[in-house]
Chains A and B, each alone.
Chain A
Amino acid sequence: MILWISSAIIPLFILLILTIGFLKNIKVYDCFVEGAKEGVSTALRVFPYLLTMLVAIGVFRASGALDYLLEILGPIFGLMGVPKEVLPLYLLRPLSGSGALAILTDILKNYHPDSFVGRVASTLMGSAETIFYTLAVYFGSIGIKEYRHTLSAALIADFSALVASVVICSWVFG
C-alpha cells in the first residue's frame, strides 16, 4: 500500500493539476512550455553556488580532515550517549546527501539494521536534509548573499535531530 502510494503520487498530482488547469480554460500545453523554459536558466543560476560548495566539501573529505574531526568530536558526543559509529553520518549528512547514504549503507551492513546503532542511524537519516547544499541552491537561485541566521538555526535543528534520535531509540527499542 505504502509502495503503491509513493509510486502513484506524482502521476496523480500531474493529473490533478492538468485537470484543474483545463477546467479553468488555460492553454495547458503553452503554459507548460512557458514554465519549462525556466528549467535551464534556473539550473544555470544555481550552478556556480553548487560547484563552490561541492568543491569545498570534496576537498575537506578527501584530505582526511573529516576523520580528524570525528576523532576530536567522538568522545564529546560519547558523553551524551551518542554511539560513535553514528557520528560520521551526523557530520556528513548536512554536507552531502549521497555521502550520507553511503555511510548509512556501511553502518547497516556492519552493525545490522536491527541493532541500536542501526536504528539510531536509520532514524537520523530519515529525519533531515543536506543543509549546505539546500541553502546554496535555494539562496543561489535568487542571488541572496547574506544568509543571516539561517545556517545557525538549521544546524541547531540538525543537532536536536541527533539528540532526539538517540533518546527516542533508547526509549522505544530499549
Chain B
Amino acid sequence: MINTIWFFLMVVGIIVGIINGRLEEVTQAAMDSASLAVQLCIGFIGIWALWLGLMKVAEKSGFIRGIGKVLSPITSILFPQVPKDHPAMGAMVMNMAANMMGLGNGATPLGLIAMKELQKLNPHKTRASNAMCLFLVINTSSITLIPTTVVALRMSTGSSQPTEIIGTALIATTISTLVGIISVKLLEKREG
C-alpha cells in the first residue's frame, strides 16, 4: 500500500506539474525536500542521542521494565503477543506517555527503542507484526493531554479563550485512538 501511495504522489504530482506548467516548482520542491530530510536527520542525531543515552540508563536500572509491568493489566489486553515483563512493553508505555505530554521529537527515541524490542519478538524481519501495527496506530492517533502548540497559536492570533479546545481535542483524540485500535483488531483478523 505504501508503494502505491508513494507512486501515486510522485506520478500525479509530476503530471499535474506538467499540466499546470509548474515543473520548475516541482523540481525545486524535490530538491528542497531532499535537503529538508538531511536537516531533519542531522537535528535528530542530537536529540535522539540525548534520549537514547538517558533511556539506556532507564533500561539498565530496570525502570523501563518496571513501568511496563505496572501498566501491564491494560497493555497486555492490547498487546497479547508481548510478554508482560518484556522491555518492549515498558518502552511502548513510555512512548505513549511522552506523546500524551506533548514531547513530540523527544518521544520518538522511546518509540524507536520499542520498535527495536518488538522486532526481537517478530518472526518475519521485514514484515510488521500485529503488535507493531497497533503500536504505530496508537502512536499516530496519539492522545495529547495539552496541545501546547495549538494553544500558543490561538493565543497569538487573538483568541479570547485559547484553552477552550483542550477538552474538545481530548475527546476527539480519544475517539480517534479507540477507532484506530478497533480498526487494527478487525483488519488483523481479516488478514489472518
Residues of A bordering B, CB below 8 Å: 2, 6, 9-10, 14, 17-18, 20-21, 23-24, 26, 28, 31-40, 42-44, 46-47, 50-65, 68, 94, 101, 104-105, 108-109, 112-114, 118-119, 122-132, 134-135, 137-139, 141-154, 156-158, 160-161, 164-165, 168-169, 172-173
Whether a CB of chain A sits under 8 angstroms from the CB of B77 is: no
The proximity string for B residues 108-121 relative to A, scoring 1 for CB distances below 8 Å and 0 otherwise, is 11011001101100
Interface pair B61/A157, CB less than 8 Å apart: no
Known contacts A9-B101, A56-B10; A35/B55 CB under 8 A: yes
A-B contact pairs, 15 of them (CB 8 A): A35-B54, A35-B55, A39-B48, A55-B33, A62-B17, A63-B16, A122-B169, A126-B144, A127-B144, A129-B141, A134-B140, A138-B111, A144-B125, A153-B180, A173-B164
Closest Cβ–Cβ distance, residue A97 to chain B (whole Å): 9
How many chain B residues have a CB neighbour from A under 8 Å?
107
Task: Name which residue of chain B comes closest to A94, CB basis.
Answer: B140
Task: Name which residue of chain A comes closest to B143, CB basis.
Answer: A127
Residues on B with C-beta less than 8 A from A113 are 153-154, 157-159, 162
Given contacts A36-B53, A125-B149, A165-B172, 7 further A-B contacts (CB under 8 A): A17-B58, A39-B52, A62-B17, A64-B22, A127-B147, A132-B5, A139-B128
Residues on A with C-beta less than 8 A from B106 are 10
Interface pair B54/A149, CB less than 8 Å apart: no
Whether a CB of chain A sits under 8 angstroms from the CB of B2 is: yes
If over half of B's interface residues share one DSSP class (helix, strand or loop), that class is named, otherwise mixed; here it is helix
Known contacts A35-B54, A122-B165; A42/B133 CB under 8 A: no
Residues on B with C-beta less than 8 A from A141 are 112, 115-116
Q: How far is the CA of A68 from the CA of B20 in the complex (A)?
A: 11
Interface pair A158/B176, CB less than 8 Å apart: yes
Interface pair A26/B61, CB less than 8 Å apart: yes
Q: How far is the CA of A111 from the CA of B52 in the complex (A)?
A: 42
Which of A26, A142, A169 lies in contact with B168, CB distance below 8 A? Answer: A169
Task: Name which residue of chain A comes closest to B112, CB basis.
Answer: A141
If over half of A's interface residues share one DSSP class (helix, strand or loop), that class is named, otherwise mixed; here it is helix
Interface pair A62/B13, CB less than 8 Å apart: yes
Residues on A with C-beta less than 8 A from B56 are 31-32, 34-36
Residue with the greatest number of chain B CB neighbours at <10 A, chosen from A43, A61, A138, A152: A138
Q: How far is the CA of A113 from the CA of B150 in the complex (A)?
A: 10
Known contacts A20-B61, A149-B133; A43/B44 CB under 8 A: yes
Whether a CB of chain A sits under 8 angstroms from the CB of B82 is: no
Residues on B with C-beta less than 8 A from A151 are 1-2, 5
